[in-house]
Chains A and B, each alone.
Chain A
Amino acid sequence: MRVAEDIVLDVAHLDTRVGSQVVHRDLSLQVRRGEVLAVVGGSGSGKTTLLRQMLGLERPAAGRVEVFGVDLARADARALAGVRGRWGVLFQQGGLFSALSALDNVALPLRELRCLDDALVREVAALKLAMVGIGPEHHGKRPSQLSGGMARRVGLARAIALDPELLFLDEPTASLDPVLARGFVALLRELAAELAPTVVIITHDRETVEALASRVAVLARGRLAAVGEVARVAALDDPAVAAFFRSGEAPGPSAPGDTGHRSAGD
């Protein structure tokens, strides 16, 4: 299929099944170059699985996922390697390699290129760590010795190690306390302005969406309930949209005392 030049990520008629359970049904979504798209939805709406599809970690039951015009399920190793050199991913649990120090974690994507001088690699990795506010005193620490907030930032430093064109953030503020979360969002905003990548954020945090996203896609029960500019979508009269953007006002059994929901992961 001939895609327009500025479509970075194209999900077309995607079906996902896990066992007998249908996670996505006929889901189509496009991400344009330079935009910050937030994929939101409640727990169990299938947003984490959608991210795994976008990363090629799950195989579609039907439909396809194209990143930079490469169909992830059908591409050969060389094409996949090309795609993987152009994206960065921040995993929800960090996904840091527990056997490596903070610096080595950030240096790993650079070392995997196997053509760079190690002194240069170390300097670039230290620079990336400085960009996320991690000083040299923490470079030698293992992920288990870092606090949750610091580990998240090291994960971000690794995600931007290759100056990716496409950056995936899975629940960037989940399980951070409100102060740390706000600080992390501010950091993301700075980096997005500096590196200007296309960003896909998976989140259930309204503040993150409002602070960062230019467009938002609302998932509900494996389908897209709405896609569009944040302000326009927020005004829509749809139950799934209302549940996300106006949860404070919405009546219902889950509304009162539902503070635990925001930090609960998928």
Chain B
Amino acid sequence: MPGMQSEIGPAAGGASSPGWQVEGGAPGEPGRLRLTGGWHLQAIARRQRMLADALARLARHHPAHGWDLRDVARIDTLGATLLWRVWGRQLPDRILLRPEQHALFARLEAAGAARGAGEPAPDARDATGTGFARQALSHAADLVSLFGQFLLDLGRVLARPSRLPWRDLSAAVFRTGAQALPITAIVGFLVGVVFCYLSGRQLQQFGADVFIVNLLGITVVRELGPMLAAILVAGRSGSAITAQIGVMRLNQELDAMTVLGIAHGLRLVLPRVLALALVLPLLVVWTSLATLAGGVVAAQVELGLSAGQFIERLRVTLPILNVGIGLLKGVVFGVLVAIVSCHFGLRTRPDTASLGRSVTASVVTAITVVILADAVFAVAFSGMGLRR
């Protein structure tokens, strides 16, 4: 065609690559931007930014030109949206489309109208400090009421032991107790070795090697054993309890229980709390023994203190009251870990993201609560079981 000026866009030759030609545009004659090739996902994907910029420049240079999409081999939603954005979210005044392309752009137009009408309100929850405080308060209130419910259920079960779900209880004891024996033993033993080795070295400088037994005995039995056992159980069984109950929420099992008139407190919370209250003191003893065993080994190697001497000295220097304090801590920590884990399990909302958040929050909260309780114990028992 004479007098036609033509600009050929990148890769206009390939049938499947997006391309364009500028046609006409002489004064008095309306020109057009003719798109060719494929304007679909595979053709555009890597060049999306470049194409959008090039088209925008083209539209700026030739504002009076119409658009011609009839030679486009294939266009999909992505390609259409790309053009739609270049056009400023509306159809240009002059445009030539094939019938099926009309439908595509009509859908874009409808979607734009719908978006303008109903912008979803931003989720204001948790955005502010007061939101956080309210959340913390509601967790605290729920925890207290869960504990109260536990005490009521405990009273009810003591009055009528046949109401206790014995099978659930024994399953929980096995899972949280028996299966935790290897890991607590390994961790305890290694901590004992390291602790004894380091402190032994320091004491040696003053020629006070034998006092390693006093030091190790009181710290392990009173402090380290209960803490190690509680933290391991919080990570191991606490997370399992939360996940288990959370999945029951996802699965509508909790709803089914309510509808059947089966109380969550009696059937889910009580056996788990009782199991941990029963098992954790035993694990405390086990972990303390493993830690002391580690101490015995390290003392023998490092300080030349025989096992017999170690045990004899331990018997003489360790007030037996400390064992009682360790056991009491075990019971309290067990109840705390179980209540916190059940609480976060029951608070789970029926979606998978919520389940993940619940398990994380459960373990973190359980460990924090255990450490707080330990601090309270330290203050409360500060004058007991310690020789001067």
Interface residues of A in 162-189 (CB under 8 A from B): none
CA distance A19 to B259 in the complex (A): 23
A57 CB-CB contact with B under 8 Å: yes
**What's the dominant secondary structure at chain B's contact region?**
helix
Decide: B261 and A95 in contact? CB cutoff 8 A: no
Q: Judging by beta carbons under 8 Å apart, are B110 and A253 in contact?
A: yes
Are B256 and A97 in touch, CB under 8 angstroms? yes
A82-102 contact mask (Cβ, 8 Å, vs B): 1 or 0: 001101010111111110000
* Structural contact, A112 and B251, CB atoms closer than 8 A: no
Find out whether the CB atom of A112 lies under 8 angstroms from the CB atom of B259: no
Contacts of B76 in A (CB 8 A): none
Tell me, rounded to whole Å, the shortest Cβ–Cβ distance linking A113 to chain B: 10
The answer, yes or no, to whether B260 is at the interface (CB within 8 Å) is yes
**Least distance between B76 CB and chain A CB atoms (Å):** 16
Q: A85, B261: Cβ atoms under 8 Å?
A: yes
B252 to chain A, nearest CB (A): 4
Query: In the complex the two chains form, what is the Cα distance from A195 to B276 in whole Å?
Result: 45
Residue of B110, B252, B259 near A94 (CB, 8 A) is B252
Are B256 and A95 in contact, CB atoms less than 8 angstroms apart? Answer: yes
A112 touches B261 (CB 8 A): yes
Task: Give the contacting residue for B261; candidates A19, A81, A97; CB below 8 A.
Answer: A81
- Contact present for B261 and A56 (CB under 8 Å): no
B258 touches A (CB below 8 Å): yes
B255 interface residue, CB < 8 Å from A? Answer: yes
Residues of A with C-beta under 8 A to B110:
253
Q: How far is the CA of A163 from the CA of B336 in the complex (A)?
A: 41
Asked if A7 CB lies within 8 Å of chain B CBs, one says no
Partner of A55 from the list B125, B251, B259 (CB cut-off 8 Å) is B259
Q: Is the CB of A19 within 8 A of B255?
A: no
Q: Do A56 and B260 touch (CB < 8 A)?
A: no
Interface residue ranges of B26-42 to A (CB < 8 Å): none
Asked if A108 lies at the interface with its beta carbon under 8 angstroms from chain B, I say yes
Inter-chain contact A98/B125, CB cutoff 8 Å: no
B261 touches A80 (CB 8 A): yes
Is B253 close to A, CB under 8 A?
A: yes
Q: Does B262 contact A (CB under 8 A)?
A: yes
**Number of chain B residues close to chain A: CB under 8 A:** 15
Main secondary structure on chain A at its contact with chain B? loop
Partner of B251, one of A84, A93, A108: A93
User: A84 contacts B256, CB within 8 Å?
Assistant: no
The reply on A109 being an interface residue by CB < 8 A is yes
- Among A19, A94, A96, point to the contact of B125 (Cβ < 8 A): A19
The 8 Å CB contact of B258, one of A19, A57, A108, is A57
In the assembled complex, the Cα of A87 lies from the Cα of B251 at a distance in Å of: 20
Task: Take A109-B260, A112-B262 as given contacts and tell me if A55 and B252 are in contact as well, using a CB distance cutoff of 8 Å.
Answer: no
Contact with A along B242-268 (1 / 0, CB 8 A): 000001100111011011111000000
Do B253 and A96 touch across chains, with their CB atoms under 8 A apart? yes
Q: Is the CB–CB distance between A91 and B261 below 8 Å?
A: no
Contacts of A95 in B (CB 8 A): 251-253, 255-256
Let me know if B255 and A84 touch, CB within 8 A: no
Known contacts A19-B125, A253-B110: does B260 contact A112 (CB below 8 Å)?
yes
A84 touches B261 (CB 8 A): yes
CA distance A57 to B255 in the complex (A): 7
Q: Are A89 and B256 in contact (CB under 8 A)?
A: yes
A253 to B125, CA, bound (A): 33
Nearest chain A CB to B99's CB is how many angstroms away?
Answer: 16
* Most chain A beta-carbon contacts within 10 A, residue among B107, B248, B260, B261: B260
Q: A19-B125, A253-B110 are in contact. Are A56 and B258 (CB under 8 A)?
A: yes
Residues of B within 8 A of A91 (CB): 252, 255-256
Measured between beta carbons, the chain B residues less than 8 angstroms from A84 are 259-261
Query: Chain A's nearest CB lies how many Å from the CB of B251?
Result: 6
Binding site for B on A (CB under 8 A): 19, 52, 55-57, 80-81, 84-85, 87, 89, 91-98, 108-109, 112, 253
Known: A97-B256, A98-B248. 8 other contacts (CB 8 A): A84-B259, A85-B261, A93-B252, A94-B252, A97-B253, A98-B253, A108-B262, A109-B260
